[in-house]
């Protein structure tokens, strides 16, 4: 059509030209004669070119050629349109037939699969079906677009907050987002009771016997306790859903929404950050290369327990770097195993004795001797200079020139709070203690709370602090959940922590425990009842903070006459109480092989009074009773 129009535009002036020339000639003749002609015969008016008959024939020839060309063009255009239409219809029909064939094939394959697969009733409870074949993609759980209560992190603090929210708001819909593949679980057994289990399949069951002989799982609740994340929107009675294997990477505080690592967005009404922390590593290990790094364990999660258990059964030597709670617990646990398997267990640390940063020197030295009796080789005052991989072994060179050869390293040198969301959320990170800075109500912003290891909170008795223990995660998570439902309570509870060096030696502590503070210790002879095993038999629980109550505490009665003096310590510290002082006020207490007396210790710190004779205060713990 475009070509036809172009040709016509070129020929149209030629067709109009003869008529125009004829009219102009007539008009000119009239002007010359001075009058208008009366009659001009139509037969004599030319419609062709000016000139003779040849001109008219040429004009008719051009006009005819134009008409024939236009007709040919239109015919070809219509024919091409018809061909395109037929091709298009053929494609559509072909596509429909292909879809029908594929649908039939899928249907046949599905029927075959149903015939070959065993019936659902044939699978025993607790057993899992065969994993999907290679190439199949399991359906991903639907991520809800909105969660009234969003809890970031899947640890103890998040679970405690979820239960607290549901207790105050029974219809609440709570979504826990965790980057771990597991449901919420307790971490203390990973370095304690699980290592003393006689069950060879403990790494799969994750069930253990407590010191009192009772068995339990590390998981707070079975999967049936939770609802599916897909059902959260439609659940009439609400519930707690857990989204595993997902990490929150960005937080939009103004828009009340977060972004996951797969770019999914979730909006929220109220949010809790309980991201915990990540284990620190030594820089000399990080710079040592892949061979050293892959032979180093940073102990924190279930997968770390499983992998370390496997390593301990396949190597000849393991070295634990770090003398704190975690390092000493793992060293004792592995030391017990060394008696059976011949495993060499080495523990090295920069302090003079085990837990030298928290225990007084005399008690740290005594603890070190206890750890040695568990089959652990202790290297104290050890500063690591370099780590290399040579001849299929790791060589640890110390700054004083000592060289230690081993097969595997456990780096237990502390925890770094996870504050990755601080930048995007605009939240303050404490420069002294680390972690998100919150007020006494654990609130970082108007609708954002922080609990657990990542919270740097204001203690109304002891000032600003950050605590990395199980009981603090429980208590702070519970309080955050209450405040998310409108309680507006301050964090006044003094959380406790405990450590067991096997079933025979353990302690519970509260407040500020720092060996640089002045201490007063009062000890007595221990009996068979003064062990972690006996304590759990009496309380009925292996997680001793679960038996804590406030109403059992009594007001301490101290004598005003004598001044506090440090008791002369004997070589055997069977059981006792160690008071940590700041400005003559008790700010921390360790109960050494003294159990189920924590409410008394909590009351002493809460009162914040000066005591003239701490020996009298120690009597409140009944340490002299048989």
Domains and their CATH numbers in the chain? 146-184+220-276+418-485 (3.50.50.60), 280-415 (3.50.50.60), 496-621 (3.30.390.30)
Residue 383 banded pLDDT, cuts 50, 70, 90:
very high
Residue 175, helix vs strand vs coil: strand
Q: Is 603 exposed, middle or buried (0-12, 13-18, 19+ CB in 10 A)?
A: middle
Query: 231: which DSSP letter?
Result: G
pLDDT at residue 420 tops 70: yes
Residue 198 banded pLDDT, cuts 50, 70, 90:
confident
Rounded Cα gap, residues 239 and 225, in angstroms = 9
Res 538: pLDDT: 61
pLDDT at residue 87 tops 80: no
* End-to-end CA separation in angstroms for the chain: 113
DSSP β-ladder status, 296-297 and 408-411:
parallel
- Any idea which residue has 């005591």 for tokens? 611
C-beta neighbour count of 409 within 10 angstroms = 27
Find which of 90-99, 303-312, 366-375 is predicted with most confidence, using mean pLDDT.
Answer: 303-312
Q: Please state the pTM of the whole predicted model.
A: 0.72
Rounded Cα gap, residues 482 and 478, in angstroms = 6
Rounded Cα gap, residues 404 and 398, in angstroms = 8
Query: How does pLDDT run across 366-375, given as a tens digit for each residue?
Result: 899 989 998 9
Yes or no: say if 537 and 481 are a contact pair by the CB < 8 Å rule.
no
Rounded Cα gap, residues 594 and 514, in angstroms = 19
Q: Please name the residues in contact with 296: beta carbons below 8 A apart, sequence gap of 6 or more.
A: 281, 285, 408, 409, 410, 411
Six token digits for residue 274: 């309980």
Six token digits for residue 30: 């009239």
Yes or no: say if 436 and 444 are a contact pair by the CB < 8 Å rule.
yes
Query: Whole-number mean pLDDT of the chain?
Result: 80
- Any idea which residue has 């998040």 for tokens? 158
Residue 393, helix vs strand vs coil: strand
The closest alpha carbon to 260, from 398, 99, 144, belongs to: 144
What helix, strand, coil percent values describe the chain, rounded to 5? 35, 20, 40
Residue 620 banded pLDDT, cuts 50, 70, 90:
very high
Yes or no: say if 219 and 207 are a contact pair by the CB < 8 Å rule.
no
Residue 524 banded pLDDT, cuts 50, 70, 90:
confident
- Any idea which residue has 């160690």 for tokens? 578
- Any idea which residue has 């301990």 for tokens? 312
Integer CA distances (angstroms), 3 to 7, 11, 68, 69, 464, in order? 6, 13, 13, 10, 86
Instruction: Establish how many alpha carbons lie within 13 A of residue 84's alpha carbon, considering only the half-sphere containing its beta carbon.
Output: 6
Query: How does pLDDT run across 568-616, given as a tens digit for each residue?
Result: 445 567 789 999 999 999 999 999 988 889 999 999 998 889 998 999 9
The closest alpha carbon to 167, from 576, 524, 477, belongs to: 477
Yes or no: say if 500 and 195 are a contact pair by the CB < 8 Å rule.
no
């Amino acid at each position: 059509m475009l070509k036809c129009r172009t040709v016509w535009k070129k020929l149209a002036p030629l067709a109009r030209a003869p008529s125009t020339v004829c009219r102009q000639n007539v008009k000119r003749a009239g002007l010359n004669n001075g009058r208008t002609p009366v009659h001009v015969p139509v037969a004599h008016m030319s419609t062709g070119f000016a000139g003779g008959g040849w001109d008219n024939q040429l004009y008719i020839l051009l006009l005819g050629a134009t008409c024939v060309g236009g007709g040919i063009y239109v015919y070809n255009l219509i024919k091409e349109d018809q061909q395109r239409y037929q091709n298009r219809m053929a494609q559509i029909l072909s596509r429909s037939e292909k879809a029908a064939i594929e649908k039939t094939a899928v249907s046949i394959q599905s029927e075959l699969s149903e015939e070959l697969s065993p019936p659902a009733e044939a699978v025993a409870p607790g057993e899992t079906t065969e994993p999907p074949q290679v190439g199949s993609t399991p359906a991903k759980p639907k991520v809800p677009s909105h969660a009234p209560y969003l809890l970031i992190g899947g640890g103890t603090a998040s679970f405690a907050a979820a239960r607290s929210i549901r207790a105050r708001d029974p219809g609440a819909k709570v979504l826990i987002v965790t980057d771990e593949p597991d449901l919420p679980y307790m971490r203390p057994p990973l370095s304690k009771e699980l290592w003393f289990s006689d069950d060879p399949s403990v790494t799969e069951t994750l069930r253990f016997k407590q010191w009192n002989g009772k068995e339990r799982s590390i998981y707070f609740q079975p999967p049936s306790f939770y609802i599916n994340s897909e059902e959260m929107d439609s659940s009439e009675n609400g519930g707690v859903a857990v989204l595993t294997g997902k990490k929150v990477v960005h937080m939009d505080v103004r828009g009340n929404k977060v972004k996951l690592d797969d770019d999914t967005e979730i909006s929220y009404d109220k949010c809790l950050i309980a991201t915990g922390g990540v284990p620190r590593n030594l820089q000399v290990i990080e710079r040592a290369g892949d061979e050293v790094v892959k032979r180093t364990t940073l102990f924190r999660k279930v997968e770390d327990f499983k992998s370390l258990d496997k390593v301990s059964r396949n190597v000849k030597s393991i070295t634990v770097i770090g003398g704190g709670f975690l390092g000493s617990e793992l060293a004792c646990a592995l030391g017990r195993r060394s008696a059976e398997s011949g495993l060499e267990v080495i523990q090295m640390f920069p302090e003079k004795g085990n837990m030298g940063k928290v225990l007084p020197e005399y008690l740290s030295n005594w603890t070190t001797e206890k750890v040695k009796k568990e089959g652990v080789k202790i290297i104290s005052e050890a500063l690591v200079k370099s780590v290399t991989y040579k001849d299929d072994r790791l060589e640890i060179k110390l700054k004083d020139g000592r060289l230690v050869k081993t097969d595997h390293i456990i780096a237990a040198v502390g925890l770094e709070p996870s504050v990755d969301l601080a930048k995007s959320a605009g939240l303050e990170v404490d420069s002294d203690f680390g972690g998100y800075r919150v007020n006494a109500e654990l609130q970082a912003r108007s609708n954002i709370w922080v609990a657990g290891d990542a919270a740097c909170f204001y203690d109304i008795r002891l000032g600003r602090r950050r605590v990395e223990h199980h009981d603090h995660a429980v208590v702070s998570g519970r309080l955050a959940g209450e405040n998310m439902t409108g309680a507006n309570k301050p964090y006044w509870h003094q959380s406790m922590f405990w450590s067991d060096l096997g079933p025979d030696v353990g302690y519970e502590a509260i407040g500020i425990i720092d060996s640089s503070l002045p201490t007063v210790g009062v000890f007595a002879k221990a009996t068979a009842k003064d062990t972690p095993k006996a304590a759990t038999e009496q309380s009925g629980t292996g997680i001793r903070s679960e038996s804590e109550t406030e109403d059992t505490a009594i007001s301490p009665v101290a004598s005003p006459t004598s001044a506090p003096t440090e008791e002369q310590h004997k070589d055997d510290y069977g059981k006792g109480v160690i008071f940590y002082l700041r400005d003559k006020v008790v700010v921390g207490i360790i109960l050494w092989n003294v159990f189920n007396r924590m409410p008394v210790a909590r009351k002493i710190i809460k009162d914040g009074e000066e005591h003239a004779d701490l020996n009298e205060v120690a009597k409140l713990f009944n340490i002299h009773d048989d």
